Amino acid sequence: MTYVVAFAQTLATKAADFATATEGHHASPSGWLDYAIAGVGAVIVAYVIYFAIDHVLRPREASPDHIKRRILEERG
């Protein structure tokens, strides 16, 4: 039983050390490549958000045989 308690205390100590460690956390960009990667990622996210909102507001499905029309007609 004392082995279990000692093991639990060791794990608790390691967890506390890990939770308060600052090594490797909050690393700032180290060069132009980091900024370029972040910029490209931001552009992609903005592109996806724009087109997601655009297609939700204006879906552009005008075809009478579109699957959406069949589903809506069956329920209504």
Q: Is residue 15 part of a domain?
A: no
pLDDT digits 0-9 by tens, 48-59: 999 999 988 888
Q: How far apart are CA 17 and CA 20, in angstroms?
A: 5
Task: Flag whether pLDDT at 17 surpasses 90.
Answer: no
Count how many domains the chain has.
1
Per-residue pLDDT, 39: 95
Q: Is residue 6 part of a domain?
A: no
Domain of 71 in residue numbering reads as 30-76
Q: Is residue 8 part of a domain?
A: no
Q: Is residue 65 part of a domain?
A: yes
Q: Is residue 21 part of a domain?
A: no
Per-residue pLDDT, 60: 81
Alpha carbon 52 to chain centroid, angstroms = 16
